[in-house]
Homo-oligomer: A and B are copies of this chain.
Amino acid sequence: MNPDELSPVAQDYLKVIWSRTEWGAPPITTGELAQRFGTSAANVTETLKRLDAQGLVARIPYKPVELTEAGAQCAIAMVRRHRLLETYLVEALGYDWDEVHDEAERLEHAVSDTFIARIDAILEHPTADPHGDPIPDADHRWAHPEDARRLASVTGSGRFRVLVVSDADPEVLRTARELGLVPGVELDVDAGESGAAGAGPLVRVLGREGVEVPGSVAEGMLVRPIV
């Protein structure tokens, strides 16, 4: 099913439900969706019922929600739109790293497939958006490293490369850029025993100079070990 036939609300739900599990996290709950959209859990329940009736999600009451195959296809199409738009806004319109998310969030509901195809061609078929997130191609395939993990979950020490910085929070993006933590950068990480401390808020990173990464930023960054 083409996502153009869905309402903007339906498009948003599918994208958020899909994105939750992109890096292996468990499926999203009603309450988390309510928080994400700034609405009530009651409203989320009603909306999920409608999506279930449309065959886009497989809803089991009181359980986290999961996408059907049709729902996942629409979701990936929306993620492709979002990430291509973010890339275009940065590359062609001079937007900053931390400005593009909200603009893309609105544009993705309005652009046609033609528009997406044109910017994809102009950008020469990019495979990652400005934050490092992989861009699904027109056939809904996308590169997805299996050994990625959150910087916040790293224990001990080692060398890593930054893959993705989450675009959900502009403040995280600004801080990450100030610290030089952009996709592609290599890091020598010395996280001490943060795992043992239980949600330790700080991770120590050694690059050109030693910097301390705030917990919120480490939580929003995906890194991959360099062998």
Contacts and interface: CB of A to CB of B under 8 A. Distances in A.
Interface string A26-67: 000000000000000000000000000000000000000000
| Chain A interface residue bracket vs B | 10 to 19
B106 A118 contact: no
A122 B93 contact: yes
A185 interface: no
A24 interface: no
A9 interface: no
A109 interface: yes
A103 interface: yes
Nearest to A92: B92
Contacts of A110: 106-107, 109-110
How many copies of the polypeptide does the oligomer hold? 2
B118 A94 contact: yes
A143 interface: no
Interface string A81-123: 0000000000011110001001100110111101100110010
Contacts of A112: 102-103, 106
A92 B114 CA distance: 14
A93 B122 CA distance: 8
Nearest to A93: B118
A114 B119 CA distance: 19
Contacts of A106: 110-112
Contacts of A111: 103, 106-107
21 contacts: A92-B92, A93-B115, A93-B118, A93-B119, A93-B122, A94-B118, A95-B118, A99-B114, A102-B112, A103-B111, A103-B112, A103-B114, A103-B115, A106-B110, A106-B111, A106-B112, A107-B107, A107-B110, A107-B111, A109-B110, A110-B110
Given A106-B111, A107-B110, 19 more contacts: A92-B92, A93-B115, A93-B118, A93-B119, A93-B122, A94-B118, A95-B118, A99-B114, A102-B112, A103-B111, A103-B112, A103-B114, A103-B115, A106-B110, A106-B112, A107-B107, A107-B111, A109-B110, A110-B110
